[in-house]
A and B are shown apart, each in its own frame.
Chain A
Amino acid sequence: MSSRLIVIGAYLVAVMISVPAAGQQVSATNWAPSRTAWGDPDLQGVYTFATQTPVERPTELGGKAVYTQAELADLGKRAEAARKAREEAPVDPAKPPGGYDAVWTASERGRLTGHTSLIVDPEDGRMPGLTPRAQKIRADIEADEAARTIGKEIIYNTWADHSLYTRCFARPIPRLGQAYNHGVQILQMPGYVVIHYESMHDVRIIPLDGRPHVDQNIRLLNGDSRGRWDGNTLVVDSTNFSNTQRFGPTWLNGDGWDGLPQGNMRYTERFTKVDANTIEYVITVEDPTMYTRLWTIVLPWKADDPNYQHPEDLYEFACHEGNYRMMEDALIGSRALKQAQPAK
């Protein structure tokens, strides 16, 4: 038996063990959403998925999966004090200026979810291990970057050395934490649900009529999504992602790499309105070629954030048009660094 088959076998066992756990993540609720004119549960509205909860549980929290109400209240107070200090303290010219100060990001802070991490499965709240294949892909990506590094600086020889996100094409699905523009709008019509993400102006049009996925040779940056109703829950199955889009732990552990090719990933998203202002968004990520088991995230989408109340609160995001200086500076900057290299 090849090592790959062993990995897939182990993965399937993990799936069988994990599915009941993942299914239990949805909050029990008796709250009933209103219905659309044609009888579907009504999820429509403007939401934000900004949160202060990290994707992975900090290791020092050990087995602690949720905060108590008292801990949450205490954390909330301290976070508010930290925010005030950060946003209102005078600028100290002696300190490094940093990327962008709180003025630019302060209206996107979100709240704590109550869990100690967005990942709720595996039980340790952390990403599962990478398969040998994924480890090799990661090593190759890092070797490519190392080969075009001068000192500590990565050289960008071409526009293609930048990620699809940096080039304003699309952000990877699922959307988790980002610096700003966490707004999202859900629209419904008979037979379809539409999800519009403010950042990148990505729009997912999700048919509900049971049609099969598109041909496997068709690859899409946001994948191919098919939805159905399971009671009051919208369940969306997404496949046909593209290997040109990379999804991964850049923002999970901050070590600077852009993640793994997304082509073999399959996502199951569950959207349940659990009260008037909250959609509980649960996403399970499957990719036996990359991860040693599936993993599940719970991230509430909130409708009561004053920054996101109306469709017009999702501003236009014409990223391509405004991005010319970035690419110019990155490419010219890299060429200047190469020219400054002493001749060998």
Chain B
Amino acid sequence: MGKRLSVVIGGVGGLLMAFAAPVVAHHAFSAEYDSTKPITLRGTVKKMEWINPHSWMTLEVKSADGKVEAWEIETGAPNSMFRRGFNRDSLPIGTELVVHGYQAKSGKNRANGGSVTFPDGRTLFLGGSNPDDPENKK
């Protein structure tokens, strides 16, 4: 959507287009990240910071030459993640993850967490994965 990156929810054609509400990431995505630089990072969780408006996850990523670098990944608002069944025990330090996102324009080792999966491709926190998730109590 032009100057801001959006995720379009819904919209499977026909009448459903009626509620293809654009969802804008909170913080001027285009100011922070380079939409021409998608990046895939595979690493282990070093730290999780539960801060608004978006949480941050630090991953230790081993490069091709064996050097380990810390990457900071912007993830969802803590409120949304709590509701989704994510808590401080969900990702123990050392958990291996794959992050698909866009690299920060600042040149720092930062990226947005467009999606976060386990190495076997499972998406985090699918419906049914957490009995405390309100989605599973309906």
Q: Give a binary string over B82-118; 1 marks a CB under 8 Å from any A CB, 0 the rest.
A: 1110000000000000001110111110101111110
Residues of chain B within 8 A of A337, CB atoms compared: 105
A254 touches B2 (CB 8 A): yes
A177, CB-defined interface residue at 8 Å? yes
Q: Give which listed residue, A54, A99, A106, contacts B112 with CB less than 8 A.
A: A99
Residues of chain B within 8 A of A251, CB atoms compared: 21-22, 24
B72, CB-defined interface residue at 8 Å? yes
A83 to chain B, nearest CB (A): 8
Residues of chain A within 8 A of B74, CB atoms compared: 325
Residues of chain B within 8 A of A325, CB atoms compared: 56, 72, 74, 110
Residues of chain A within 8 A of B64, CB atoms compared: none
**Chain A residue total in the interface (Cβ 8 A):** 78
A97 touches B51 (CB 8 A): no
B23 touches A105 (CB 8 A): yes
Q: Give a binary string over A250-265; 1 marks a CB under 8 Å from any B CB, 0 the rest.
A: 1100111100000000
Q: Give which listed residue, B80, B108, B122, B123, contacts A180 with CB less than 8 A.
A: B80
Say yes or no: A79-B16 contact (C-beta < 8 A), given A154-B3, A321-B52, A336-B107.
yes
B20 touches A54 (CB 8 A): yes
| CA of A250 to CA of B28, assembled, Å | 12
B9 touches A105 (CB 8 A): yes
A116, CB-defined interface residue at 8 Å? yes
A88 touches B84 (CB 8 A): no
B31, CB-defined interface residue at 8 Å? yes
B68, CB-defined interface residue at 8 Å? no
| CA of A179 to CA of B3, assembled, Å | 17
Residues of chain B within 8 A of A307, CB atoms compared: 83, 134
Q: Give a binary string over B8-28; 1 marks a CB under 8 Å from any A CB, 0 the rest.
A: 011110011111111111111
B112 touches A100 (CB 8 A): yes
B67, CB-defined interface residue at 8 Å? no
Q: Give which listed residue, A54, A101, A257, A326, contacts B27 with CB less than 8 A.
A: A326
Residues of chain A within 8 A of B116, CB atoms compared: 101, 103
A107, CB-defined interface residue at 8 Å? yes
Residues of chain B within 8 A of A105, CB atoms compared: 7, 9, 23, 76, 80
Say yes or no: A88-B127 contact (C-beta < 8 A), given A112-B19, A154-B3, A154-B30.
yes
Residues of chain A within 8 A of B52, CB atoms compared: 316-319, 321-323
Residues of chain A within 8 A of B125, CB atoms compared: 103
A322 touches B7 (CB 8 A): no
Residues of chain B within 8 A of A315, CB atoms compared: 78-79, 82
Q: Give chain A interface residues in 16-58, CB to chain B under 8 Å.
A: 52-54, 57-58
B44, CB-defined interface residue at 8 Å? no
B23 to chain A, nearest CB (A): 4
B119 to chain A, nearest CB (A): 12
B29, CB-defined interface residue at 8 Å? yes
New contact pairs (20) apart from A97-B100, A100-B114, A334-B31, CB-CB < 8 Å: A52-B10, A81-B12, A82-B16, A88-B127, A93-B40, A97-B114, A98-B5, A103-B115, A179-B23, A180-B80, A250-B24, A255-B2, A256-B1, A256-B2, A306-B135, A306-B138, A322-B53, A323-B53, A326-B32, A329-B33
3 shortest A-B CB distances, which residue pairs?
A97-B114, A333-B105, A104-B76
What are 19 of the A-B contact pairs (CB < 8 Å)? A52-B19, A61-B15, A87-B123, A91-B100, A91-B123, A93-B100, A100-B114, A103-B124, A104-B80, A106-B84, A154-B30, A163-B28, A179-B23, A181-B80, A198-B79, A317-B53, A329-B105, A330-B31, A336-B107
Q: Using a CB–CB distance below 8 Å, which chain A residues touch chain B?
A: 52-54, 57-58, 60-61, 71, 74-75, 78-79, 81-82, 84, 86-88, 90-91, 93, 96-109, 112, 116, 145, 152-154, 156, 162-163, 166, 168, 177, 179-181, 198, 250-251, 254-257, 306-307, 313, 315-319, 321-323, 325-326, 328-330, 332-334, 336-337
